[in-house]
Amino acid sequence: MEKSIYLAQLFGVVYLCVGLGALINPKYYKRILDDFLKSEALLYLGGAAALVIGFVLVNLHNLWVKDWPVIITVIAWLSVIKGALLLIQPDPLLKITKQIAKKKKFTAYGLAALALGAILAYFGFFA
């Protein structure tokens, strides 16, 4: 359970910051996303990083339980899947990401990140 609490604290803070950033400064996040999508090298490195980090998290925290730690497990597996897709066949994922960037749904994604961060921070720091 100590790993779950530590990871909830870590991810909670990161998701809270990203969520607030997307809500407060959506133009900045759109520029970052646009730059990222233009660089195949960054996409490759991002995929490799997501795969490695996801793999490490899955090996450290693969808890399929009916409690809040499963959130971290799902995040870990999504990271593995995202990383593998970016390395093997990035086009479908890029198409979805470009649609998100065009629709400027940063408010919705900011709120989702903020909510996830709040949930994880609650369990990591207060529960």
Task: List, as one string, the DSSP characters of 43-98.
Answer: HHHHHHHHHHHHHHHHHH-----SSTTHHHHHHHHHHHHHHHHHHH--HHHHHHHH
Residue 11 has pLDDT above 90, yes or no: yes
pLDDT at 104: 67
Q: Where are the domains of the chain?
A: 2-122
Query: Reduced to 3 DSSP states, what percent helix, strand and coil does the chain have, rounded to the nearest 5?
Result: 85, 0, 15
Residue 51 has pLDDT above 70, yes or no: yes
Would you say 56 and 77 are in contact if contact means Cβ atoms under 8 Å apart? no
Confidence bin at 102 (pLDDT 50/70/90): confident
Whole-number Å distance between alpha carbons of 65 and 99: 34
pLDDT at 97: 84
Average pLDDT over residues 100-111: 80
- Kindly state the percentage of the chain with pLDDT values over 90: 79
Residue 106 has pLDDT above 90, yes or no: no
